[in-house]
Amino acid sequence: MKKKILLVLTTIIIFSFVGCNSSQNTKSDEETEVNDTILENGEDDEKDSQDRIIVYLSGPEAMITNLEEEFEKENGDVLDMNIMSCGQLRSKVWAESQAGSIQADVIWGSDPLIYNKLDDLKLLMPLNIKEFEKISSQYLWAGKNYALVNERYVIIMYNNTMLIDEIPESFADLTDEKYKNIAVMADASQSSTAFAIASSLYELMGNNNNYFQSLKNNGIMLSKSNGLVPSQIMEGQFAVGIAPHDSIIRLQNKAEKEGYEVTVKAVWPREGVISLQRPIAIPVDDNRSNKQQEIANKFVNFMLSKKAQMITANFGFVSVRNDIENTYLPEEIESFSVDWDAASENEENIKNEYQQIFH
C-alpha cells in the first residue's frame, strides 16, 4: 500500500513538472503581473549586478577577438561572445525562440532569412542607429528590425596548381565536362548561407533547377560549410568551387604571416557576383535589465562604427559605410543582391527540389 502511494505521488510530481513547462507561456504573464511589484527591484538588482550581455555571432575568431577587445576598451568586460557557424547560429536561435526564450542579447551573422523569420514573429527589437547618415543607402532596409553590418560576394575559386589553362570564367562553366568530379560547393541542407547562395543561383540561372541538375550530373561535391570550400581547394581535394570571397582574403593574410603560398585564386564570374549581407539584431527579452539593454544598443552601434567596420574590412568583409571604400569588387563586375523576400517565400520549394537533386 505504501509503495503504491509513493509511486502515485512520484508520478504526480513528474507530471506536475511537465504541466508546469507546457503551461509556462500562459502562466508567465499572470505570474509577472502578480510578482512584478514584489520582485521587480530584486530582479533588477540581480540583473544589474551581472552587467554583461550574451552575443551569438558567426565569423572568423581573430576578427571577433579584435572587435571584442576594441569594444571592451571603452566599456569594460561586458561581452560573452558565443562564436559559431552561420548554420549553428540559425539553428540555435530558432530552437531557442521555439522553446520560448532566445538567450542572446545580440545576434550577429548568418543571413537575413532567419532575421526576417524572427521579425515576422515580432521577436526583434527596433534599433536606434546613431550614425544613420554614414550607412550607404542600399544597406538601409526600411521596415526591418535589424541592421546590415557587412557584405560578402559569392565567387568562383580554383586551385592554380591543379588548373593551369582551363580556368572557369562563369558559374555556367562549372557544368562543363572539364570539371567533372573536381568541383565543390557548400551544401544548402547544412548551411544557411549555402541555401542563400543556392536561392540566388536558382534565380540567376533562369529560375529553374537545370543548373543544379547539370552540376549534380557533373559530379559536384558538397561541403559542410562555405568556409570549408577554399580550405578543401587549397588542400587539393578539389580543383574548383563556389563560395564567398572573404575566406580567400583571410587565407592570404594567414599565409603571409606564416610564410607559405596560397594556391587558391578568385574568379569574378561573368554573370556577376551574388552579394550576401550579414545582419545584426537585438532579440526581445522582457527580463533584460536596463544596463544590459544599453550595452546591447552600444554594441550594435559599435559594429556600425568606422573602427569596427575597418576591422571587418581587413578580414575580407565589405563595409556598409559610405566613408569606407569597397576595395574588393572590381568595377566592371556586377553584383546581384539576393531577393530575401522571394527566397523566404520559395524557401520550402527550393529546398525540396535541391534535396531531390543532390540527396
Partner 1 sequence: MNINRFSTKVKNENQQGVNLTNSLPIVLLVIVSIFILYPIIILVISSFSRYGHFSLENYKITFASSTTFKAFINTLKMALITLTGTWIAGGFLAFVRHKTDFKYKKTLDNFVFLSFTIPAYILSISWIEVLTRGGYLNRILKVVFPTITYRFNAYTIFASAIILILHLYPLVYYGVGNALKLLNGDIEQAARVCGIARFQILIRVILPLVMPSFISTGLLVISRSMANFGVPAQVSLPTGNEVLTTRIFSSMSDLNLGVVAVLSVILILIAVAIFLISEKFTQKKYYNVNADNKNINVSVIKLGKWKQAINIAVIIFFVFSVIIPFITIIISSFFKRWGLPFSKESFTISNYVRLFSQENLLTQPLFNSLIYGIVGATIASLIASLIVYLYVYRNNKASKWLMNIAQLPIAVPNMILAVAAMFAWINEPFKLYGTSSIIVITYIVLFIPICIKQMLGSSENLDKELDKAAITMNINIYIRYTKLFLPQIKDSLLSGFLICFLISLKEIPISLLLYTSTTKTLGVMMFTVQSNSYGLEMTSTISVIVIFFSFIGHIVLKNLGSKGY
Least separation, in Å, of the C-beta of 190 and partner 1? 6
Q: Give Rg (Cα) of the chain.
A: 24
Q: Which is nearer to partner 1, 194 or 303 (CB)?
A: 194
What residue has cell string 574548383?
Answer: 240
Least separation, in Å, of the C-beta of 127 and partner 1? 23
Contact characters 4-33, partner 1, x per CB under 8 A: --xx--x--xx--xx-xxx-x---------
Query: CA-CA distance, 27 to 21, in Å (whole number)?
Result: 10
Number of residues that bind partner 1 (CB under 8 A): 73
- Is 349 a binder of partner 1 (CB under 8 A)? no
Residues of this chain, 39-68, that bind partner 1 according to CB under 8 A: 54, 60-62
- Is 69 a binder of partner 1 (CB under 8 A)? no
Least separation, in Å, of the C-beta of 291 and partner 1? 19
CA dihedral (357, 275, 331, 206) in degrees, to 10, reads 40
- Binds partner 1 by CB under 8 A, chosen from 12, 34, 39, 95: 95
- Is 276 a binder of partner 1 (CB under 8 A)? no
Least separation, in Å, of the C-beta of 187 and partner 1? 6
Query: CA-CA distance, 306 to 337, in Å (whole number)?
Result: 23
Q: How far is CA 171 from CA 2, 133, 201, 224, in A?
A: 74, 36, 9, 20
- Binds partner 1 by CB under 8 A, chosen from 47, 134, 216, 265: 216
Least separation, in Å, of the C-beta of 271 and partner 1? 25
Least separation, in Å, of the C-beta of 6 and partner 1? 6
Residues of this chain, 224-263, that bind partner 1 according to CB under 8 A: 224-225, 227-228, 231-232, 234-238, 250, 254-255, 258-260
Residues of this chain, 110-129, that bind partner 1 according to CB under 8 A: 114, 117
Q: Among the candidate windows 42-50, 80-88, 125-133, 329-337, which touches partner 1 by CB under 8 A?
A: 80-88
Smallest Cα–Cα separation from 230: which of 253, 201, 198, 213?
Answer: 253
